[in-house]
Amino acid sequence: MDAQIQHLVHLQALDTRLAELRNRLQAIPAQLAAVDARVSNTRQQIAAAKEALTASLKDRKKYEMDVDSWKEKARKYRDQSFEVKTNEAYKALQHEIQHAETQVAQAEDRLLERMVAGEEYERQVKTAEGSVNIVEGEAQAERQKIQAEESSLQQELQTKEAERGEIASEIPEELLGTYERIAARRHGIGLAEIRDEACGLCGMRVRPHVFQELRRSDSHEIFQCESCTRILYYVEPPVAISPDAESKASAAGISANEP
């Protein structure tokens, strides 16, 4: 393989990884926002439970006052009933007393209901407050994990960008420009390996003389795919000497393919 093409293959690998790193870094603010939203959601639940508790306590006060005021009225009518002169007036007061006592009983029922509800709200607030600590603890751990990932991605990005700069400086400007123009149009992939005498990415057949030229170890010509325009390169398959040598070569990966 031509040295320039080798640089391009290396550059392509770096560019692919760089694009991946940038994508992942871009997604991080949304990930952090989702964690924050979970915490604020739990906080809102607590606020709602507290509000319900406050309202229930207010009702309780009101019903307590109702009980007292109806009790007071009943007492007043009872006092008056000792002083009335006519039977009619006495009966009327008895009626008032009965009414006031009914009201006392009703207010006491409502009060009891509120007290039970209040206990339930109190329990809800306590439960929610307990869970907010858990949720916050988990959120904090998750934030730290995301931030640690972010800084490691940033670090790799810087290293790979520097590496890219070095490799790019080894490639003639015109060739680099061609690669970059194609990559920009083709989802970041400016190179295509020839497989089965066709472009490995779009499947377009490679003309025989181009294929022959690319197979020559002393060839420096650059060919582009006639369909997707990507810069073509060819990796000679490993020569099978014995089954043992072949398995060694395949175990060693791509580097075993080079002469």
Residue 14 within binding range of Zn ion, rule CB under 5 A: no
Nearer to Zn ion, 67 or 214 (CB): 214
Residue 194 within binding range of Zn ion, rule CB under 5 A: no
Which residue in the set 84, 202, 249, 256 belongs to the binding site for Zn ion (CB under 5 A)? 202
Contact 168, 190 (CB under 8 A): no
Which residue in the set 39, 204, 235, 249 belongs to the binding site for Zn ion (CB under 5 A)? 204
- Least distance in Å: CB of 150 to Zn ion? 36
HSE at residue 162, side-chain half, CA atoms within 13 A, is: 5
**Distance (Å, whole) CA 76 – CA 96:** 10
Which residue in the set 128, 199, 214, 222 belongs to the binding site for Zn ion (CB under 5 A)? 199
Nearer to Zn ion, 21 or 199 (CB): 199
For the beta carbon of residue 177, count every other beta carbon within 10 angstroms.
Answer: 11
**Distance (Å, whole) CA 12 – CA 78:** 100
Which stretch in 31-39, 52-60, 117-125, 192-200 sits in contact with Zn ion by CB under 5 A?
A: 192-200
**Distance (Å, whole) CA 115 – CA 124:** 14
Residue 228 within binding range of Zn ion, rule CB under 5 A: yes
> Which secondary-structure segment (H or E) carries 233?
strand 231-233
Residue 225 within binding range of Zn ion, rule CB under 5 A: yes
Which stretch in 72-80, 141-149, 179-187, 194-202 sits in contact with Zn ion by CB under 5 A?
A: 194-202
How far is Cα of residue 157 from the mean position of the Cα atoms in its chain? 21
Contact 156, 14 (CB under 8 A): no
Residue 210 within binding range of Zn ion, rule CB under 5 A: no
Return residues touching Zn ion (CB under 5 A).
Answer: 199, 202, 204, 225, 227-228
